[in-house]
Amino acid sequence: MPKSPPPSPANDQALREHQPGGGQPKIEVSRGNGGELHQNLASGDKSADAAFLTDNFGHRISDNQNSLRAGERGPTLLEDFVLREKIFHFDHERIPERIVHARGSGAHGVFECTKAIPGLTKASIFQKEGATCPVFVRFSTVAGGAGSVDTPRDVRGFAVKLYTDSGNWDLVGNNIPVFFIQDAMKFPDLVHSVKMEADRGYPQAASAHDTFWDFIGLMPEAMHMIMWAMSDRTIPRSLRMIEGFGVHTFRLVNEKGEGKFVKFHWKPVLGVQSTTWDEAVKIAGADPDFHRRDLFEAIDAGDFPAWDLGVQVFDEAFAEKQPYDVLDATKLIPEEDIPVEIVGRMTLNRNVDNFFAETEQVAFLPSNIIPGIDFSNDPLLQGRLFSYLDTQKSRLGTTNFHQIPINAPKCPFHNFQRDGMTQTLVPTGRANYEPNSLAEAGENGGPRASAETGFSTFTANDERNDPAQKLRIRAELFADHFSQARLFYLSQTENEQAHIASALVFELSKVALDHVRARVVGQLRNIDGDLATRVAAGLAIDLPAKEKAARAPVDLKTSDALSIQKNADDTMEGRKVAILFAEGSDKAAIDKLKGDIESADGTAFLVAPKVGGIKVKGGTLKADGQLAGSPSVLFDAVASILTEEQAKALSGQGAAVQWFMDAYGHCKTIAHDEATQLLLDKAGVEKDGGVVAIDEFESVGTRRHWVREARVRDLA
């Protein structure tokens, strides 16, 4: 038989040139179950042999460029196991995306207990101040698919996996403390209504359409959540600037078996900040990955985002006195009634090594709790305890998803569960059942349950119903759907109330079914008459009759803690300021402003009509971004240092005029020199407390100037 022709010299040389290390393949590393580094080969071989390319079973490959053929121009042979394995793996390298929370961003970090609370819980992580454990966090949107954008009006998932020495604790929540529904029975209906409409496949990642608002109009229990969803909470500035909530009421249990209710809160160290709706829309076009990029770049630069973990702890006596049911996921407990006690801090300090292996394959389970933490009888939580476990088999293809490194605990685990698809562990011995008496024969009998140290469900349950009584029923106070919705709305500033009303007008204007719009506005009348009137006027419809409430709402004391603007931090930390310059600009003035921003822990980003070295007064400056590709919506404030000649030239460019027009319209600080005034006039920028001279910028900072909003856009 003739010998196979050798590869052509030209092709062989090209291959060598594209191999790092003079033709030796680069050895990739990944992180194992315990976080340790190892070579990314099935054998884990760290010797010189690891430099050889192999198939998945360790067979070295002689040619990774050409299929095996019957002759130079003949058909490809089925016996080519290298080709078949490579194509087989490629054909199956995508897994089903999550039904909700499909688009996510993840990062590694550490949690530290800053205040021990052994009197409240026996959870190991809270027994000693300074105790730490690794964490993995996944932030996500809810309604859109994996390929959607980062900035739609949507709830943000906030899921934390704490790898404690007692096992994994998954605190799986959102950036909003309440939810749309009270019972898990309604979750498929909620998601079906907000997803793309079934007959047309759109809109993607949007709730502004008929089916969602039809469902909402028929589900008054959702109205509290709608207030949050229509607020600026659902158009965040950054994932680093959102709060996180466990949503449900959980239990803390101490060593004595005493239990109390608890609500979990994550408070961002950088404070809470949002965008405006117009910004969110434009950011989606300018940078669909805005939040993902922001999180990655912050961690990459060493600006590690952090959150304080807080708890609201209360007993049955407090719960009984409230005009709402603490087991109702559509309700919150105002911080004025039960202050949030800070007990720990979480810091994200490492980006993922591989997006698929970690962010995409991570599986969160609300059922993952540790001794000292327990569930309540919240009916929405009870349904989630089943749903999350059930969905992992669909996504990850096996009951052994817990063996994937990102999901595996960092403490030992032993049980009698065996086999299953993609089993990677190799249990030894005959014991795969319990109880057994193999130990009496000198064999390994395997692990045993421990009544003393194992997890035991809280039994001294003094909640409203006898725990043994199983009913398809909701407690009476669950019927109050509007009191806390009113509380939330009335706790906002006038400007934030206008945002909510305007968001409702926008969303309902996309609804083509007249009766749906009318019903929703009728439900709004149960929250606040002025809000309903404003929304009806914005839709140009007659104010409909008030929808009947199953339980009359009660007036609750307003809570300033529910407002973003009332709690806004006047800080530069974590914020990004754009400085526009051009040829001839004063380098000394730019350097001073840049230094002032950075000394206040902000980030200065230089923008110019062209990137690369630009001649300026006093030297040369390189821009970080080009004007057309760096719109002002990407920044928290803008500044401009130009010559009269360049200002005149830029005033004829739409991108430059829009740059200032958007910054002004989004109520941002604009710092400028005298020459820039020509551009400001062209953009319709009027002087106010947020349009200042360059030397006044530090006193104004990156705060929003909401008093301007009524002049720049119509609000409901």
Active-site positions read 101, 174
Return the DSSP state at 487: H
Q: What is the distance between the alpha carbons of residues 608 and 585, in angstroms, rounded to a whole number?
A: 10
- Of 419, 460, 434, 367, which is closest to residue 171 (Cα–Cα)? 367
| DSSP count for the chain of H helices, then E strands | 19, 20
Let me know the angle formed at the C-alpha of 133 by 129 and 134, rounded to the nearest 5 degrees: 150
Helix axes 494-509, 514-524, angle to 10 degrees: 160
Return the DSSP state at 358: I
- Of 335, 330, 377, 332, which is closest to residue 481 (Cα–Cα)? 330
Let me know the angle formed at the C-alpha of 46 by 41 and 49, rounded to the nearest 5 degrees: 80
Rg (CA), the chain: 29
Tokens of 543: 């104010």
Q: CA-CA-CA-CA torsion for 546, 549, 555, 560, nearest 10 degrees?
A: -80
Q: What is the distance between the alpha carbons of residues 181 and 192, in angstroms, rounded to a whole number?
A: 14
**203 upstream amide cis, omega within 30 of 0:** yes
Q: Count of CB atoms within 10 A of residue 302's CB?
A: 7
Give Cβ neighbours of residue 368 (< 8 Å, ≥ 6 apart).
Answer: 161, 167, 168, 169, 170
